[in-house]
Structure 1
């Protein structure tokens, strides 16, 4: 899906705007003009984008810059160009979006409703592991060792060109083994009884893998019935990480469990959580030092 997204950026935005400029003639000024144009009027007219802002988001423009920068870096290494025009480009500032999570006090309502809707096991395992949606749907029973209490993340389920398919994971760090707590093992044993002979941990009614869209619709249905605000599936992953950090799990461990590229990325993503923890640490130290006086 990442490959498809990049292909779309190239075909819809890069080629039509700067595709005819020879690499050695491409300047930083030309790129800055392109980024400004994309920010104000870059969105492709489609039925599903009606009513949305006409400009692309700063994040999308930065992604487009990254693709051009990769190409220019290679061109410079191969001595096709002397200077890299992407160096020194001013990029749009990222908008800070407030991260949504399910607060602890809402978890019992959510899980109770999930149980009534027959999808408790899936959402419990998600909140206990923080897997990406595709990774959760890609789990097979062969990946789970209920005796040793661990789970191997080896593949994902994605919708590509309208088809639900097995796909490799996002990065090499995404291939990982996670420990399972006793409660999660009990929930998985319960799920095993429900799935019959299907190799998938969370199969569709036909026995194959579930479509990522169906899982999202089901999540919104459960939230609505529980009287809770709408969140994305990815926000359940944020809920796992936030609760782990708030309850004393160190950033390196959380980063490894999430399958992030680096602990630095995890730290940036959950800075608001770690800042609160640092304030608590400062107060703790104050108590210790005051007592020592």
Structure 2
């Protein structure tokens, strides 16, 4: 296909050509790149001479300001920018971080605006091409913001690394999106009933896991990663939380503030000691199935799986006609109880490892009195009995 005939205008570097009988404008600008090589920047498709001139002026200004990289990268697409972003960050990411980023970007962002040049991504594009179609599909506010944050992250990276001079979009309008379902905390009566049911009708691992999640606000992955030898210190009444475990195995936590020491209260220590007696008995037969000494195992001596607790909670809710909840509700319940009893936010944050870096620095090195008090508060709120397994429960 022959190229359109470019005709000079009165403005140096700006040209016009005919496309489908309509006058269209473009520009050409010669410059030297960072290595002293002669380059030419061209762009076409402008509806007016003013727009072409303005674009040319922006190119000239970037080059005069020493920002040659902006000029060289302005044809970069969202797909290409995302690839650069992943390549620059993957060595520092946890495996789950990379998988989550790739899933969100490929599933939502790339499919909708991946082909666009990054310089053309503005508020209208983000709203109409990315967000609005997802709102129509019923996506909730929280999910939409998670998707938007991924897009925002790669553009912030582009600016920081002088690939792009600025972003042309801000937070999208989510007023038409339905509100995210908020995680509910269980009431004291509800959690007491759940734990009593687990204690009297289910397995000791079920009861101990659910109790520990409630008493510590620990994440399920952190609970699964606990090991007797390195993490449970009965002498100093400390639980060391320094790793997590998912379907791909144990790994270090995602953030620095997730590393923490949780002070054992009397309930926690009593329940763990009771559980340890059972554990040692079962391990006499099945020790070979748990070579790394993970704390929580099944009745067959194998470390509990990723969906182990969700399955038992689903079963309890179904059998006992309890409103459904997830393991994370227990973490949320712990935090809610602490805050409602006027424990400082920073103290609660230090206990659950879910705060910004500045909070972590204040509380990571030693226990403050407030942290020990916050743990002991759970003893005052609920009294847990020793495990009592019913013969009626079938694994």
Q: Say yes or no: TM over 0.5.
A: yes
Query: Counterparts of 1:45-194 in structure 2 under 5 Å?
Result: 54-86=137-169, 88-92=170-174, 95=179, 97-115=181-199, 116-118=201-203, 119-141=206-228, 142-160=230-248, 165-194=249-278
1:269 counterpart residue number: none
User: Relative to total residues, which structure has the larger strand share, 1 or 2?
Assistant: 2
Determine if contact 2:296/2:304 at 8 Å carries over to the other structure. yes
Deviation at 1:206, TM superposition (A): 4.4
Deviations 1:159-197 (A, max 9, x none): 25xxxx223323211111110012211111111112224
Structure 2 runs not aligned, ≥5 long? 1-95, 284-289, 360-395
Instruction: Report SS of the residue matched to 2:116.
Output: coil
Instruction: Report SS of the residue matched to 2:307.
Output: helix
Determine if contact 1:62/1:91 at 8 Å carries over to the other structure. no
Deviation at 1:212, TM superposition (A): 2.2
TM-score of the two chains, using structure 1 as the length reference: 0.77
Instruction: Report SS of the residue matched to 1:177.
Output: strand
1:16 counterpart residue number: 111
1:285 counterpart residue number: none
Deviations 1:13-69 (A, max 9, x none): 2222222212223222211112112221xxxxxxxxxxxxx3322222211211111
Instruction: Report SS of the residue matched to 2:298.
Output: coil
Runs of 4+, deviation exceeding 6 Å: none
Distance across 2 between alignment mates of 1:212 and 1:131: 15
Distance across 2 between alignment mates of 1:140 and 1:122: 14
Determine if contact 1:24/1:80 at 8 Å carries over to the other structure. no
2:133 counterpart residue number: 37
Distance across 1 between alignment mates of 2:138 and 2:97: 21
Deviation at 1:249, TM superposition (A): 2.2
Distance across 2 between alignment mates of 1:78 and 1:240: 41
Point out the more displaced range, 191-200 or 172-181.
191-200
Higher RCO, Cα 8 Å, sep 6+: 1
User: Relative to total residues, which structure has the larger helix share, 1 or 2?
Assistant: 1
Instruction: Report SS of the residue matched to 1:212.
Output: coil
Determine if contact 1:133/1:234 at 8 Å carries over to the other structure. yes
RMSD of aligned Cα (Å): 2.3
Deviation at 1:83, TM superposition (A): 2.3
Larger Rg: 2
Deviation at 1:120, TM superposition (A): 1.6
Deviation at 1:134, TM superposition (A): 1.0
In the comparison of the two structures, how many residue pairs are matched? 247
Deviation at 1:96, TM superposition (A): 5.3
Deviations 1:135-154 (A, max 9, x none): 11111112010110000111
TM-score of the two chains, using structure 2 as the length reference: 0.58
Instruction: Report SS of the residue matched to 1:202.
Output: coil
Distance across 1 between alignment mates of 2:198 and 2:138: 38
